[in-house]
Amino acid sequence: MTHAHDVVPRAPSLDVDALLDDRSIRVVVCCGAGGVGKTTTAAALALRAAERGRNVVVLTIDPARRLAQSLGLTELDNDPRPVPGTAGEGSLAAMMLDMKRTFDEFVESNADATRAATILANPFYQSLSSSFAGTQEYMAMEKLGQLRARAIADQSWDLIVVDTPPSRSALDFLDAPRRLGSFLDGRFIRLLAAPAKAGGRAYMKVLAAGFGMFTTVLGKVIGGQVLTDVQIFVGAVDTLFGGFRQRADDTYAMLQAPDTAFVVVAAPERDALREASYFVERLEAESMPLAGLVLNRVQATALPDLDAATSTAAAARLEVGSPKSITAALLRIHADRIATFERQFRLVERFSAVHRGVPVATIPALASDVVDLAGLRAVGAALAEQG
């Protein structure tokens, strides 16, 4: 019998248990394209680490609430909740990012009560904190920074596992803190804070042209009210601009630190592996510590010596409508599985040829979704089998 990890040629194995047992590793960041199983992988790694003795908190950004269901919780929110039913001497808590609440907490912790109240009530801020492109990624990194500071201060956890946001552009969560900080501290937004002068129509044309990318935010208010709200907002948060810049720099430095480990999650499909290749190259370029690649939904086959062509031909020779038709159906199913296995092998071989030395672990294609702790344990065990 072959196993799922037999699809991986030449690549060294990712020793998942060694990674999770390494007490010098304090943050594991699971990143990858949307729909490849980041949430399940992050939860499985967190549960396995907890049941091997670590005190773990897992942060998800998945709005589908699948993590809560698989962990046996009715819901998750912006504060860590203990996960019941875990075995071993460690502990596991889980939380789901509330983007706006995290932004509000940042404001409340960096401004006096009066100024914070002014900011939180401002219409421009309310739009910015809930719909500005990149806010989710920025707040994911802000929440990670909060959790890391808390872990250092009171020893709440010795491992944080992060399920990064699904992004259209790979590694948006790395760029977002600097992008949002640059926007809030940029010359253009300070121009908006300047009083409108004669020739206001020309000014608003500049506003419309420069803010085309923010139409979803600015479209919620009309005309001069936009300018008034922005002026009030910028005046209120002026003292916080340095805080945004500093927090962005601190978060970036934390992600580059040797106690952080990135795990890229992908499926053995062309587009997913193309994204994974970009992730690996970007992490290397940014000096981010890459632990390895997790390949999800990998096909395995129980009859490796019976290739797809032979299996299909044998199925065609069997009579339809006789007991042999059942065997024919099974042979066709096997042929499909072998064809999938061979296609995945070729794709992963190309990836490994380009990224030699990147350790790989696999998760086999499962018959059903992971919906409970038992399923997460099985995923974790499959990952650790290859160490």
pLDDT of residue 46: 96
| pLDDT at res. 222 | 39
What are the start-end ranges of the H helices in the chain? Answer: 16-21, 38-51, 66-70, 99-110, 113-121, 123-131, 135-154, 172-184, 187-193, 200-210, 215-218, 224-237, 241-256, 270-285, 308-317, 324-354, 373-384
- Do residues 141 and 177 touch, judged by C-beta distance below 8 A? yes
Fold classification of 4-172+253-301+357-384 is Rossmann fold (3.40.50)
Task: Pick the closest to residue 280 from 31, 20, 17 (CA basis).
Answer: 31
What pLDDT, on a 0 to 100 scale, did the predictor assign at position 2?
45
- Output the pTM of the full model: 0.77
| Mean pLDDT of successive 10-residue stretches along the chain, which has 387 residues | 54 92 96 86 95 94 71 83 89 89 84 85 80 72 86 92 71 66 57 46 46 44 58 65 70 90 92 89 90 86 54 54 59 66 79 87 82 91 83
- pLDDT score recorded for residue 204: 45
**pLDDT at position 303:** 47
